[in-house]
């Protein structure tokens, strides 16, 4: 027969990849130069912000923290050395070096102290730092924050149980102490329509309205004051750029450049203080606002929101009336994108590894329905995608919202970009997201206005997160449960005592397991209440509060519950590993009664040493999530249903909803390292399943079966986001027809089966191996991690291996 054993292109696949990842040939020279510069720039550190915030806290010991931070930020923006390069038309940088990180020692200082010597030498994401910078950081900044950061305070207040769980990495308390402080629905429209002067006026007016007998009078006054100071900080930075541009115009290299500089001067004089009037003003205003946000608090993830909604009016009117051409707009947008790649985060190394390859994520959201429920895709949505394809950079992370009535052309543009090897975007299902928010009580308009905030976490309109506040390590919980509350490996801290898990039926076993899971969830929620209290006291965020609906009305910072709506998300790690393991126990212990539970526990405790035959049987002969087998898929679904029930019973510290997530960044790799062997045949220390996905390599029946398994889960109950990661061989997308079939598969998964998220990495194993051997030749080979892109060569070895081990979907037959 003609059928081929396994399909592989007749030519070298790596040629396809390098052709795909090469920058577009038709970039304008200035864009090509700026792109190249940011790709090659080393990571450096900017101390200005840490210095000024530390000073502000020291010099104003009696003032509220919100005011200390606002003063520090304002001063930093006043002192930050600034420049405008010859190619720039949008001014501004958050630091004085090409690609740099600013530091936030008041959030978490312990790792800076411990790792200071090592920033230049770690395995990935190295930072250059001079000896003088090291000295200043050590002696003048970190000394002050030693044991005094918000994180130190938060951990010192946690219970022994929480310390035990954290030390054994059964849970991770993230809740913004490791960054990610901005998972919120940021109202950029407000900046564009009112300007920061308008925001200041609004705050002043609200302050004047405070009743003299209001018991919260002082708190409200400080809140409004902090908003005013922070807003002044951003305006001040803009006027510095205006002056600089004006001064540089006279010495410009050409008449054209002088004209451009004068334009920059005019624009920065106007925005973001006043409302934007043109497309270029709008981009400039958003960018300077972003810098303000990143200067105030950890800027690891700052969502850019629905750019195709709030920028479109400016684009349209400029094109229709202002003589702006599409290609001019494209060039400005490309420059805007490039800027986000200059912002990086110096993270704790352990955390850097779990955000592997890319610690800073600035996500923009395109497409989807509008507040009225009708399709909101517009001409700018396409322009934004085109710029993404032209740039092919880590930032911004691009989230596309799709719904059944998305225009065919937009779906095609999206799937083309998903499959062309750029590996820089992902897609979300509006139907599931909107339903997910309304079932939690959000009004339909806010639900429809959701944005993606970093990886895969949605945030409805007028809402503050964080949807990514803690991780629960599902397989580790099973390990503890099977072993009477004691870890089987790497024991840290005092042991807990649990009754024996022995039961007469699987139903009884599962009931006891979920009881234990409930207790862990409840403890985690309690721990996060403590964390939120510390956030309120030590890490208020005046700039972000100014841009989130409800705060001005309530007179409260977002950390004090000022936003109109709130939510906190807890992620379950390793649902595939957990479901496979529970299915294995069900089958061999309770259904077929081949072994008793003690035997299974014995295999796990020994790490299967001496039990390879048993391990192989578990691995190869039992149902595995990812193959559309209800025996195991239903367990995954039940766990989600169960956790959803538990989370619904309580409200968060800020009176918001608790929501469940199934995404793992690279936690599944690093947390897997301390999990004992599992009943699914996974050896001790191996990675766990990623996101909502199957155990790598265990989905043996191709992508449709894998998707059907994942679709068993009710994703309206997974409103903190679920990542669904697939890897495809590039030959699968060798022609337009096969890209069309991919679009059909995506639409089936979303609109017929109820999937929430999908992202693909298009790269074959051979190419990835070559990139490991010759990283210098693969500087722009991107892969998708967990809702974000990273350069493959920036990943740590274990995560590189994880990407390679993902089942490579290829067409056969």
Partner 1 sequence: MDVHPENDMTGLVLDIQRYSLDDGPGIRTTVFLKGCPLSCRWCQNPESISPAPEIGFRAERCIGCRTCQKACPADAIMFDNADRIDRGRCTACGACAEGCPSRAMFAVGKRYSISKLLEEVKRDAAFYEESGGGVTLSGGEPTLQFDFTLAFLKACKEAGLNTAIETNGLAASDNLRKLLPYLDRIYFDLKIINSVEHQRLTGADNRQILENARMLVECRAPVDFRLPVVPSMTANKANISEIGVFLKKVGVREIGLCPYHENWVTKLSWLGRRDSPPAELQKPLTSEELLSVIDMFSQEGINARSVEGEIAAR
Binding site residues, partner 1, CB under 8 A:
1-11, 15-16, 19-20, 420, 612-617, 619-621, 628, 701-705, 708, 731-738, 740-741, 744-745, 747-748, 752-753, 809, 811-813
For partner 1, the closer CB: 412 or 705: 705
How near is the Cβ of 574 to partner 1 at its closest, in Å? 24
Question: At its nearest, how many Å lie between partner 1 and the CB of residue 428?
Answer: 18
Q: What gap in Å lies between CA 124 and CA 257, rounded to an integer?
A: 39
Provide the minimum distance between the beta carbon of 811 and partner 1 in the complex, in angstroms, as a whole number.
5
Query: Which of residues 349 and 751 has its CB atom nearest to partner 1 in the complex?
Result: 751
Helices then strands, each counted (H, E), the chain: 34, 17
Taking alpha carbons only, the member of 314, 359, 356 closest to residue 336 is 314
Between 243 and 741, CB nearer to partner 1: 741
Nearer to partner 1, 458 or 703 (CB): 703
Q: 553: which residues sit within 8 A by CB, 6+ positions away?
A: 206
For residue 181 the two structure tokens come to: 């402080």
Q: DSSP assignment, residue 442?
A: -
Cα–Cα dist 553/230, whole Å: 18
- Judged by DSSP in three states, 175 sits in coil
Closest approach of partner 1 to the CB of residue 145, in Å: 52
SS (H, E, C) 10-21: CCCHHHHHHHHH
CB of 807 to partner 1, least distance (A): 12
Q: Which is nearer to partner 1, 71 or 707 (CB)?
A: 707
- Minimum gap (Å) between residue 436 Cβ and partner 1: 21
Which residues share a beta bridge with 402?
A: 429
Q: If residue 522 lies in a helix (H) or strand (E), which one and from where to where?
A: helix 506-538
Alpha-helix residue ranges (DSSP H) falling in 80-142: 110-115, 131-136
Angstrom distance (rounded) from CA 246 to CA 236: 15
Q: Which residue has the tokens 């684009």?
A: 315
For partner 1, give the closer residue by CB, 9 or 438. Answer: 9
Q: State which residue, 593 or 613, has the beta carbon closest to partner 1.
A: 613
Beta bridge partners of 660: 570
Least separation in angstroms between residue 621's CB and partner 1 is: 7
Beta carbon of residue 630, minimum distance to partner 1 (angstroms, whole number)? 11
Tokens of 255: 């008449």
Per-residue tokens: 196: 């920061």
- Give the nearest distance from C-beta 739 to partner 1 in angstroms: 8
Name the minimum Å distance from CB 383 to partner 1.
Answer: 21
Residues 650, 641: Cα–Cα separation, whole Å: 16
* CA atoms of 618 and 613, how far apart (whole Å): 9
Find tokens 């609004």 and name the residue.
202
Q: Which is nearer to partner 1, 8 or 439 (CB)?
A: 8
Q: Which is nearer to partner 1, 113 or 753 (CB)?
A: 753
Please identify, using beta-carbon distances, which residue of 490 and 734 lies nearer to partner 1. Answer: 734
Give the residue with the Cβ less far from partner 1, 505 or 616. Answer: 616
Paired with 784 in beta bridges are 789
Q: Which is nearer to partner 1, 514 or 628 (CB)?
A: 628
Classify each residue of 198-208 as buried b or exposed e, where b means 16 or more C-beta atoms within 10 Å of its C-beta.
bbbebbeebbe
Residue 813 C-beta: closest distance to partner 1, Å:
4
> Quick check: 403 and 762 in contact, CB under 8 A?
no
16 is written with which tokens? 């396809």
Which tokens belong to 201?
């006026």
As a whole number of angstroms, the distance between CA 640 and CA 685 comes to: 25
Separation CA 450–CA 278 (nearest Å): 26
Minimal distance in Å, beta carbon 17 to partner 1?
A: 11
Can the peptide bond before residue 396 be classed as cis, meaning omega within 30 degrees of 0? yes
Minimum CB separation of residue 413 from partner 1 in Å reads: 14
Closer residue to partner 1 in complex, CB, 106/686? 686
Give the C-alpha distances (Å, rounded to integers) separating 812 from 22, 515, 701, 736, 809: 28, 44, 11, 18, 9
Nearer CB in complex with partner 1: 28/704: 704
Q: What gap in Å lies between CA 41 and CA 707, rounded to an integer?
A: 39
Measured distance CA(768)–CA(770) in Å, rounded:
5
Report, in Å, the least distance between residue 809 CB and partner 1.
7
């Amino acid at each position: 027969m003609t059928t081929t054993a396994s399909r592989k292109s007749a030519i070298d696949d790596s040629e396809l990849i390098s052709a795909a990842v090469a920058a577009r040939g038709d970039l304008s020279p200035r864009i090509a130069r700026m792109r190249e510069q940011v790709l090659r720039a080393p990571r450096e550190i900017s101390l200005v912000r840490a210095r000024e915030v530390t000073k502000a806290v020291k010099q104003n010991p009696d003032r509220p923290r919100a005011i200390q931070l606002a003063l520090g930020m304002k001063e930093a923006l006043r002192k930050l050395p600034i420049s405008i390069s010859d190619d720039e038309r949008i001014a501004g940088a958050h630091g004085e070096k090409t690609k740099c990180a600013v530091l936030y020692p008041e959030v978490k200082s312990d790792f800076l102290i411990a790792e200071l010597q090592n920033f230049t030498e770690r395995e990935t994401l190295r930072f250059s730092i001079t000896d003088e910078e090291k000295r200043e950081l050590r002696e003048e900044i970190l000394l002050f924050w030693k044991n005094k950061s918000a994180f130190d305070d938060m951990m010192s207040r946690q219970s022994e149980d929480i310390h035990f769980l954290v030390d054994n990495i059964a849970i991770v308390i993230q809740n913004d102490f490791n960054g990610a402080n901005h998972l919120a629905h940021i109202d950029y429209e407000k900046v564009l329509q009112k300007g920061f002067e308008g925001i200041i006026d609004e705050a002043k007016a609200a302050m004047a309205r405070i009743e003299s007998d209001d018991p919260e009078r002082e708190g409200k006054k400080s809140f409004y004051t902090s908003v005013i100071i922070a807003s002044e900080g951003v305006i001040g930075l803009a006027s510095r750029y205006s002056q600089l541009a004006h001064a540089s115009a006279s010495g410009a290299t050409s008449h054209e450049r002088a004209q451009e500089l004068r334009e920059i001067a005019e624009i920065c004089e106007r925005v973001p203080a006043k409302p934007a009037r043109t497309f270029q003003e709008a981009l400039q205003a958003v960018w300077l606002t972003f810098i303000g946000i990143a200067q105030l608090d950890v800027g690891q993830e700052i969502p850019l929101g629905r750019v195709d909604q709030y920028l479109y009016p400016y684009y349209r009117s400029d094109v229709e009336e202002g003589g702006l051409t599409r290609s001019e707009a494209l060039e400005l947008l490309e420059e805007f994108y490039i800027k986000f790649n200059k912002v990086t985060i110096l993270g704790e190394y352990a955390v850097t590894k779990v955000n592997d390859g890319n610690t800073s994520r600035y996500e923009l959201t395109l497409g989807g329905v509008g507040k009225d429920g009708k399709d909101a895709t517009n001409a700018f949505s396409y322009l934004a995608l085109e710029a993404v394809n032209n740039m092919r950079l880590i930032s911004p992370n691009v989230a596309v919202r799709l719904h059944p009535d998305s225009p065919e052309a937009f779906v095609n543009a999206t799937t083309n970009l998903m499959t062309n090897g750029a590996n820089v975007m992902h897609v979300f299902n509006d139907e599931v997201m909107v339903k997910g928010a309304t079932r939690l009580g959000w009004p339909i308009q806010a639900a429809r206005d959701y944005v993606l905030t970093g990886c895969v976490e949605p945030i409805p309109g007028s809402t503050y997160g964080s949807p990514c506040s803690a991780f629960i390590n599902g397989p580790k919980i099973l390990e503890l449960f099977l072993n009477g509350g004691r870890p089987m490996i790497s024991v840290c801290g005092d042991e807990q005592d649990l009754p024996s898990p022995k039961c007469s039926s699987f139903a009884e076993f599962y009931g006891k397991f979920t009881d234990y899971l409930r207790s862990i969830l409840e403890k985690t929620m309690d721990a996060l209440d403590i964390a939120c209290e510390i956030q309120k006291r030590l890490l208020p965020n005046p700039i972000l509060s100014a841009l989130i609906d409800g705060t001005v009305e309530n007179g409260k910072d977002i950390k004090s519950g000022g936003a109109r709506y709130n939510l906190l998300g807890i992620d379950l790690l390793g649902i595939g590993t957990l479901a496979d393991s529970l299915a294995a126990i069900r089958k061999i212990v309770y259904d077929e009664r081949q072994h008793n539970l003690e035997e299974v526990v014995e295999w796990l405790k020994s790490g299967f040493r001496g039990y390879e035959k048993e391990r192989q049987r578990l691995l190869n002969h039992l149902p595995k999530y990812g193959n559309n087998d209800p025996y195991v898929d239903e367990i995954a679904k039940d766990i989600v249903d169960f956790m959803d029930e538990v989370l619904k019973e309580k409200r968060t510290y800020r009176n918001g909803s608790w929501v469940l997530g199934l995404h793992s960044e690279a936690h599944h790799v690093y947390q897997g390292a301390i999990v004992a062997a599992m009943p699914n045949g996974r050896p001790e220390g191996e990675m766990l399943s990623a996101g909502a996905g199957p155990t790598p390599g265990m989905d043996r029946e191709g992508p449709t079966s894998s998707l059907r398994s994942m679709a068993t889960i009710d994703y309206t109950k997974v409103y903190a986001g679920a990542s669904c990661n697939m890897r495809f061989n590039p030959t699968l997308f060798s022609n337009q027809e096969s890209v069309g079939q991919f679009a059909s598969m995506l639409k089936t998964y979303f609109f017929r089966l109820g999937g929430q998220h999908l992202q693909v990495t298009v790269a074959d194993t051979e190419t990835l191996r070559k990139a490991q051997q010759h990283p210098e030749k693969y500087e722009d080979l991107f892969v998708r991690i967990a809702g974000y892109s990273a350069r493959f060569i920036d990943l740590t070895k274990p995560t590189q291996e994880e990407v390679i081990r993902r089942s490579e979907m290829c067409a056969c037959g």
